[in-house]
Structure 1
Amino acid sequence: MQWPQLPDYGCFLRWPENGQGFIHPDDTPIATQLIPSPRVLKRVSFDGVYYHYVYGRLRFRLRPAMWLPIRIEAIEIGDQVETKGVGLERERFVATVWGMYYVQRKGCILYRLRRGEQLVPKLFSGDQLRLLTNKTTVRPPTTRYRAPNWNGKGETVPDTQLDE
């Protein structure tokens, strides 16, 4: 069996038919609040028995179960975004992504935003948002540096003096 490349995203729109046995016993209260729902969950790792899921600050574990995989845009929960204004129809503002919901009939993800401590009542699609969070990744180092040699007094010692 080939395991999916992680992280990946998806949702459980329906409850799996075999009860709650697929949920890690310690995570039942969290998982039963989030499943079933259109919330887009992030599957971050697999420990050999359970997949580890994240939704914002919530974390839980599930055994492999059928879910609906979803291809996401570059926007995730916790990212800072700016709304795109359209004439006088939409106000422009900066907010944080608070929730992600998959709308099956539209085939897209809608985002719930939070401005400060207040949730914005309207949901936004990805094309109405501009990502402000810089998600650059650092590539692995390719240059090898010699470790400094210390003389015990807080000073570096050239390699030639080490043999003395």
Structure 2
Amino acid sequence: MDCSRLEYIKNVNNDSDWAYESHPIGAYFPLNFKENKDGGVDNHALNLPKGSLIILSQKRPGYERSLTHVVELVNEGSEDKPQWETGTWGIFRWVKVHWIADFKDVSRIPVDQKEMIVNWGWFDTKAKLLSSPKLMEQWGSIDKLRAHLGQVFN
């Protein structure tokens, strides 16, 4: 997988199962963003650039936080916004799956902290830049991080 367009990592939560598990490589689905009291999630989701790749990191009960998907934003935010609904999970962006973990063998699913080599807070569902200062403290450059992730996802 070409990781040169990896730009973001996003927190995904599901209280009982792996989120988006049933979407194979090449499938399209609406990636949800949870609205919070502080707002700003709609503007954030709207402005994520079409074509960017996002790693989905999720914590299933009983497991460590894991890297489960790489998805591509397939529309401009303005194309998705007319389909949004009011409510907690009404904000979404259409994505296409480029990589998905092997959910049949959870021991092979990459562990977030082991692969990213950083412990960071997961407090909302906004997509965070991979070039964030916290990650760059560890990796030095986005190219080094992308090269490492290319090995993880291939």
Specify if TM > 0.5: no
Point out the structure with the larger helix share: 2
Higher relative contact order (CA 8 A, sep 6+): 2
Normalising by structure 1, what TM-score? 0.27
Normalising by structure 2, what TM-score? 0.28
